[in-house]
Chains A and B, each alone.
Chain A
Amino acid sequence: MAKTLFEKIWTTHEIQRQDARSLLWIDRHFLHEGSFAAFGQLRARGATVAHPELSIAVADHYVPTRNRKHQPAPLIADMMTRLADNTAAHNIKLSDWHAPDQGIVHVIGPERGLTLPGLTIVCGDSHTSTHGALGAIGFGIGASEVAHVLMTQTLWQKRPKLMRVQITGRLAPGIAAKDMALAVIARLGADGGRGHAIEYAGDAVRALTMEGRLTLCNLTIECGARCGMVAPDETTFTYLRNRQHAPANFESACDHWRTLPSDADATFDRDITLDSATIAPIVTWGTSPEDALPIDATLPDPARMKDEARAAHTREALDYMGLRAGQALQRVAVDRIFIGSCTNSRIEDLRIAAAVLAGRSARVPGLISPGSMPIKQRAEQEGLDRIFTSAGLEWGDAGCSMCVAMNGDTVLPGERCASTTNRNFRGRQGPGARTHLMSPAMAAAAAVTGHLTDVRPLLEGRL
Chain B
Amino acid sequence: MEKFTRLTAIACPLPLSGIDTDQLIPARFINRQRSEGFAAYLLHDLRKEPGFPLNDPLRAGARIIVARRNFGGGSSREAAVYALQDYGIACVIAPSFGDIFASNAVGNGLLPAVASEDDVEAMLDTLSAGTTHLTVDLTECRINAGNRAWSFSIDPVWREKLLNGWDDLDFTRSLQPAIDAFLVNDRTQRPWAYSM
A residues engaging B (CB < 8 A)?
Answer: 12, 15-16, 18-21, 23, 25, 27, 33-34, 36-37, 40, 45, 62, 75, 78-79, 113-114, 116, 118-119, 124-126, 140-145, 147-148, 151-154, 156, 158, 160, 189-191, 194-195, 221, 224-226, 245, 247-250, 252-253, 256, 287-288, 308-310, 312-313, 316, 404-406, 423, 425-428, 431
- B27 on the interface (CB 8 Å rule)? yes
The 8 A CB mask of B142-168 against A (1 = contact, 0 = none) is 000000000000011100100000001
Q: List 10 A-B contacts (CB under 8 A).
A: A15-B178, A15-B179, A19-B160, A21-B157, A23-B179, A142-B77, A142-B103, A152-B172, A190-B73, A312-B16
Are A142 and B100 in contact (CB-based, < 8 A)?
A: yes
- A142 cross-chain contacts in B, Cβ below 8 A: 76-78, 81, 100, 103-104, 107
Q: Which 3 A-B pairs have the closest CB atoms?
A: A142-B104, A247-B192, A253-B192
Are B173 and A12 in contact (CB-based, < 8 A)?
A: no
Answer whether A191 and B98 are a contact pair too, CB < 8 Å, given A12-B189, A25-B183, A247-B195: yes
Cross-interface CB contact of A37 among B16, B34, B117, B157, cutoff 8 Å: B34
- Shortest CB distance B71–A (Å): 9
- A25 cross-chain contacts in B, Cβ below 8 A: 179, 182-183, 186
Tell me, in angstroms, the Cα distance from A257 to B45 when the chains sit together: 47
Tell me, in angstroms, the Cα distance from A404 to B175 when the chains sit together: 39
Cross-interface CB contact of A245 among B45, B104, B196, cutoff 8 Å: B196
- Shortest CB distance B159–A (Å): 11
Are A226 and B195 in contact (CB-based, < 8 A)?
A: no
Question: Which of the listed residues B17, B45, B189 has the most CB atoms from chain A within 10 Å of its own CB?
Answer: B17
- B74 on the interface (CB 8 Å rule)? yes
- B55 cross-chain contacts in A, Cβ below 8 A: none
- A195 cross-chain contacts in B, Cβ below 8 A: 99
Are A144 and B108 in contact (CB-based, < 8 A)?
A: yes
Tell me, in angstroms, the Cα distance from A414 to B183 when the chains sit together: 53
- Shortest CB distance B28–A (Å): 7
- B179 cross-chain contacts in A, Cβ below 8 A: 15, 23, 25, 152-154
- A16 cross-chain contacts in B, Cβ below 8 A: 175, 178
Answer whether A224 and B98 are a contact pair too, CB < 8 Å, given A253-B192, A309-B68: yes
- A19 cross-chain contacts in B, Cβ below 8 A: 156-157, 160
Are B186 and A249 in contact (CB-based, < 8 A)?
A: no
Are A431 and B45 in contact (CB-based, < 8 A)?
A: yes
- Shortest CB distance B23–A (Å): 6
A-B contact count (CB 8 A): 181
Question: Which of the listed residues B117, B156, B195 has the most CB atoms from chain A within 10 Å of its own CB?
Answer: B195
Tell me, in angstroms, the Cα distance from A118 to B192 when the chains sit together: 10
Are B195 and A427 in contact (CB-based, < 8 A)?
A: no
Given contact pairs A140-B100, A313-B18, enumerate 11 new A-B contacts (beta carbons under 8 Å).
A12-B186, A21-B157, A40-B33, A113-B196, A119-B193, A144-B78, A190-B73, A191-B70, A191-B96, A309-B68, A309-B117
Are B193 and A27 in contact (CB-based, < 8 A)?
A: yes
Cross-interface CB contact of A194 among B98, B121, B155, B156, cutoff 8 Å: B98
The 8 A CB mask of B74-108 against A (1 = contact, 0 = none) is 11111101000000000000001111100110011
Cross-interface CB contact of B103 among A62, A113, A145, A431, cutoff 8 Å: A145
Are A191 and B157 in contact (CB-based, < 8 A)?
A: no
Tell me, in angstroms, the Cα distance from A278 to B81 when the chains sit together: 40
Tell me, in angstroms, the Cα distance from A404 to B75 when the chains sit together: 10
Cross-interface CB contact of A126 among B34, B74, B108, cutoff 8 Å: B74
- A36 cross-chain contacts in B, Cβ below 8 A: 31
Answer whether A124 and B76 are a contact pair too, CB < 8 Å, given A25-B183, A191-B70: yes
Are A224 and B70 in contact (CB-based, < 8 A)?
A: yes
Are A425 and B22 in contact (CB-based, < 8 A)?
A: yes
Tell me, in angstroms, the Cα distance from A156 to B76 when the chains sit together: 16
A317's nearest neighbour on chain B, judged by CB, is: B18
Are B192 and A37 in contact (CB-based, < 8 A)?
A: no
Answer whether A190 and B77 are a contact pair too, CB < 8 Å, given A16-B178, A427-B22: no
Cross-interface CB contact of A425 among B23, B155, B173, cutoff 8 Å: B23
- B169 cross-chain contacts in A, Cβ below 8 A: 45, 147-148, 151-152
Answer whether A116 and B172 are a contact pair too, CB < 8 Å, given A75-B31, A144-B104: no
Answer whether A37 and B98 are a contact pair too, CB < 8 Å, given A23-B175, A142-B107: no
Cross-interface CB contact of A23 among B26, B28, B172, cutoff 8 Å: B172
Answer whether A256 and B195 are a contact pair too, CB < 8 Å, given A16-B175, A140-B76, A191-B70: no
- A40 cross-chain contacts in B, Cβ below 8 A: 33-34
- A160 cross-chain contacts in B, Cβ below 8 A: 99
- B53 on the interface (CB 8 Å rule)? no
Are A312 and B15 in contact (CB-based, < 8 A)?
A: yes
Answer whether A15 and B76 are a contact pair too, CB < 8 Å, given A116-B193, A118-B193, A252-B192: no
- A190 cross-chain contacts in B, Cβ below 8 A: 18, 70, 73
Answer whether A191 and B100 are a contact pair too, CB < 8 Å, given A119-B193, A156-B168, A245-B196: no
- Shortest CB distance B116–A (Å): 13
Tell me, in angstroms, the Cα distance from A209 to B72 when the chains sit together: 32
Tell me, in angstroms, the Cα distance from A40 to B22 when the chains sit together: 22
- Shortest CB distance A10–B (Å): 14
Are B73 and A224 in contact (CB-based, < 8 A)?
A: yes
Tell me, in angstroms, the Cα distance from A406 to B25 when the chains sit together: 13
